[in-house]
Structure 1
Amino acid sequence: MLMKNTDLSGRIVRYGELQPCRTAFIDAHTPGSDQKENFTIIGGGVSESPDQHVHIDIPHGFNIGAAGQPPKCRNSLHSHRTAEVFFVLSGRWRFFWGLHGTAGEVVLEEGDIFNIPTGIFRGFENVGTDYGMIMAILGGDDAGGGVIWAPQVIQEADAHGLVLSEEGKLYDTKKGESLPEGVGKMPLLTEEELKAFPEPSAAEVIPDFVARYWDIAAMAHEAPVKVIGETGLLRDRPGFEVDLVTRDSATETPEQFDRPTVLMPFRGHWRVTWDGGSTVLAPGDTMSVPEELDHAVVPAMSGESALYRVIGTQDPAGPTRAD
């Protein structure tokens, strides 16, 4: 149990203080993807660049990150070995999947959440009219050991001066960098290996892996809604659970969890209080609450209020396990 006057300032990341990395991944020079900004908020994430700033390095059993992109900017096709969950903080986003991004797609609005099935290639682009931001939750402390890129992404990046080593590190030939002696390029997946990546249709993915904000909010009158979890709307056990808390389902009664908890507001301002301290969170802020700390989370102002709460579980990070 944490003592009174616990200082949590080091566990709060303000939206306005986020430090972007514009060279986080192999497609940082590829036209159409060269304006994106990546943020690693909690945990080491999956960045391939030493320039990526980590805001909170305390292990949680999952990672929190974000991607900010101007209109028409896209994130290239890739896959993960553990969960990758996105919710839209701002803007309008198209997610697409399959080796060539043609197997299926869905467009998400603010507050919508997508638990992307593991083992498929996926990408996304900002299809709104302004700079947009999506927040990401990645399973595991090491986020599955990195990113698996579609072969054409590696080839195109190489043509624009970025080379990925077999160790998963980026080298920029435009800056005079080259692979160290004895270190080879990241090998391309073979035709046989690519057969292991499924190509599900939108009809197969959307019902079980996408939840719309207004549908969830309509259910959050008396208690938070479990969006992702063994008994969630999107049934899965990826090493964490995700709840939606709204004004109607918030409570002033302090509660605690035996695992690390992360609060991520996207509508309204929220007051978090604990014994000896308090703070107000705004949309885009991220707060890590230590395990076994009594705390209350309530709206700080009138108007629509909603936040996603991520809680670590005992389930090991791994492939999607919906059933």
Structure 2
Amino acid sequence: MTPEDMAPRIVRYGELKPCKTAFIDAHTPGSNQKENFTIIGGGVSESPDQHVHIAIPHGFNIGAAGQPPRCRNSLHSHRTAEVFFVLSGRWRFFWGRRGDAGEVTLEKGDIFDIPTGIFRGFENIGEDYGMIMAILGGDDAGGGVIWAPQVIEDARDHGLVLSEKGKLYDTKRGQALPEGVGPMPVLTEEELKGFPEPTTREVVGGYVRRYWDMVALADRKPCKVIGETGIIRDKPGFEVDLITRGSATEAMHKHDIPSVLMPVTGHWRVDWEGGSTVLAPGDTMSVPEALPHSAVPSMSGDATLYHVVATGDPAGPTWGR
């Protein structure tokens, strides 16, 4: 495969195309400055304005959220697993019906495998613009987002209405629900009982791993971060490994399905039969199935990357496993 053939499968950080109207809280004060990115797969955006960089099915979706300081993403849930790792900034994740069941603060490289069926939100509590990368289980990402009732109500007060089919309408632009299409129903109190509210101890102990701990574990061989045998023992539909300078190898290998490389620190030279490129933090590369390739740091200094590959397992639920 030539470099020209591979180019559409490499998304550079500086070329990411944001959507500022991706979700129902796009006008809600405190959430109206966030940018959403869909990198691989269709994602869960509710806006037709969302750009998809790589539409090739991988068995999972990859996206990102970029937010200035004190900007938050409202409480929501997914029907499939959602894994975040911090690319830059300092982030507070919180969960529960009202967002007060528990919370954790994550720094660069930290990873959070958020269990299915739990309302969660997050905010940038750092001093600069921050970015978190997200992996969602399944090719269809579970059919969209489930919003906490107050999020839908707040959005309506600021001009955004979500249809029962998951499409956004902006009344400030003169848009209205089509005839015969109703608004997205708000969850009833009885339905809300089905969304667990685990404590901070329960969630952090089982589903959060710190970057420097993983780096230490990956000093000689890649660290299996998420997977059936991972340090987070879960089967969300994909596996995640962390590779460091000490565990990288120039030996070529291949997978029978597409895999994804996502540098966290340093610059990485990726070689394959037919070409080569260098990836920087924030870049995302989709490696085609059956293509021999390798990835090694190209410069001195700290160098780590996450490697993601689908497993074909159900993409949830994960809570309680």
The two structures share one fold, judged by TM-score above 0.5:
yes
What displacement does 1:5 show? Answer: 7.1
In structure 2, the residue matched to 1:301 is 299
Checking the alignment, whether the CA contact within 8 Å between 2:3 and 2:276 is kept in structure 1 is no
CA distance in structure 2 between the aligned counterparts of 1:172 and 1:4, rounded to whole angstroms: 44
What displacement does 1:7 show? Answer: 2.1
1:170 has 2:168 as partner? yes
CA deviations on 1:88-112 (whole Å, 9 max, x unpaired) are: 0000000000000000000000000
CA distance in structure 2 between the aligned counterparts of 1:239 and 1:197, rounded to whole angstroms: 21
Q: Secondary structure at the match of 2:5?
A: coil
Q: Secondary structure at the match of 2:155?
A: helix
Checking the alignment, whether the CA contact within 8 Å between 2:214 and 2:242 is kept in structure 1 is yes
Checking the alignment, whether the CA contact within 8 Å between 2:116 and 2:319 is kept in structure 1 is no
In structure 1, the residue matched to 2:16 is 18
CA RMSD of superposed structures (Å): 1.1
1:211 to 205, 209, 214: 209
CA distance in structure 2 between the aligned counterparts of 1:251 and 1:97, rounded to whole angstroms: 39
Aligned-residue identity in percent:
76
Q: Secondary structure at the match of 1:198?
A: coil
CA distance in structure 1 between the aligned counterparts of 2:251 and 2:78, rounded to whole angstroms: 38
In structure 2, the residue matched to 1:243 is 241
* Length-normalised TM-score, structure 2: 0.98
Q: Which structure 1 segments of 5+ residues have no match?
A: none
CA distance in structure 2 between the aligned counterparts of 1:30 and 1:177, rounded to whole angstroms: 17
In structure 2, the residue matched to 1:56 is 54
CA distance in structure 2 between the aligned counterparts of 1:236 and 1:243, rounded to whole angstroms: 13
What displacement does 1:316 show? Answer: 2.5
2:122 to 114, 121, 124: 124
In structure 1, the residue matched to 2:82 is 84
Which amino acid letter does the alignment assign opposite residue 51 of structure 2?
H
CA distance in structure 2 between the aligned counterparts of 1:158 and 1:7, rounded to whole angstroms: 45
1:264 has 2:262 as partner? yes
Q: How does 1:30-69 map to 2 (within 5 A)?
A: 30-69=28-67
CA deviations on 1:262-300 (whole Å, 9 max, x unpaired) are: 000010000000111000000000000011110010001
CA distance in structure 2 between the aligned counterparts of 1:6 and 1:118, rounded to whole angstroms: 39
Which amino acid letter does the alignment assign opposite residue 252 of structure 1?
E
Checking the alignment, whether the CA contact within 8 Å between 1:237 and 1:321 is kept in structure 2 is no
1:109 has 2:101 as partner? no
Distance 1:199 1:180, change over 3 A: same
In structure 2, the residue matched to 1:320 is 318
CA deviations on 1:1-32 (whole Å, 9 max, x unpaired) are: xx677821110000000000000000000000
Which amino acid letter does the alignment assign opposite residue 193 of structure 2?
K
Which amino acid letter does the alignment assign opposite residue 90 of structure 2?
R
CA deviations on 1:149-173 (whole Å, 9 max, x unpaired) are: 0000000000000000000000000
| Count of residues in correspondence between the two structures | 321
Distance 1:287 1:317, change over 3 A: same
CA deviations on 1:27-52 (whole Å, 9 max, x unpaired) are: 00000000000000000000000000
CA deviations on 1:192-221 (whole Å, 9 max, x unpaired) are: 000000000001100110000000001111
In structure 2, the residue matched to 1:311 is 309
Q: Secondary structure at the match of 1:185?
A: coil
CA distance in structure 2 between the aligned counterparts of 1:6 and 1:240, rounded to whole angstroms: 28
CA distance in structure 2 between the aligned counterparts of 1:230 and 1:257, rounded to whole angstroms: 18
Which amino acid letter does the alignment assign opposite residue 258 of structure 1?
D
In structure 1, the residue matched to 2:250 is 252
What displacement does 1:139 show? Answer: 0.4
Q: Which structure 2 segments of 5+ residues have no match?
A: none
1:149 has 2:147 as partner? yes
CA distance in structure 2 between the aligned counterparts of 1:29 and 1:97, rounded to whole angstroms: 22
In structure 1, the residue matched to 2:200 is 202
In structure 1, the residue matched to 2:96 is 98
Distance 1:4 1:20, change over 3 A: closer
CA distance in structure 1 between the aligned counterparts of 2:302 and 2:320, rounded to whole angstroms: 31
Checking the alignment, whether the CA contact within 8 Å between 2:85 and 2:112 is kept in structure 1 is yes
Q: Secondary structure at the match of 1:94?
A: strand
What displacement does 1:321 show? Answer: 6.4
CA distance in structure 2 between the aligned counterparts of 1:321 and 1:194, rounded to whole angstroms: 16
Which amino acid letter does the alignment assign opposite residue 52 of structure 2?
V
CA distance in structure 2 between the aligned counterparts of 1:241 and 1:6, rounded to whole angstroms: 29
Checking the alignment, whether the CA contact within 8 Å between 1:259 and 1:313 is kept in structure 2 is no
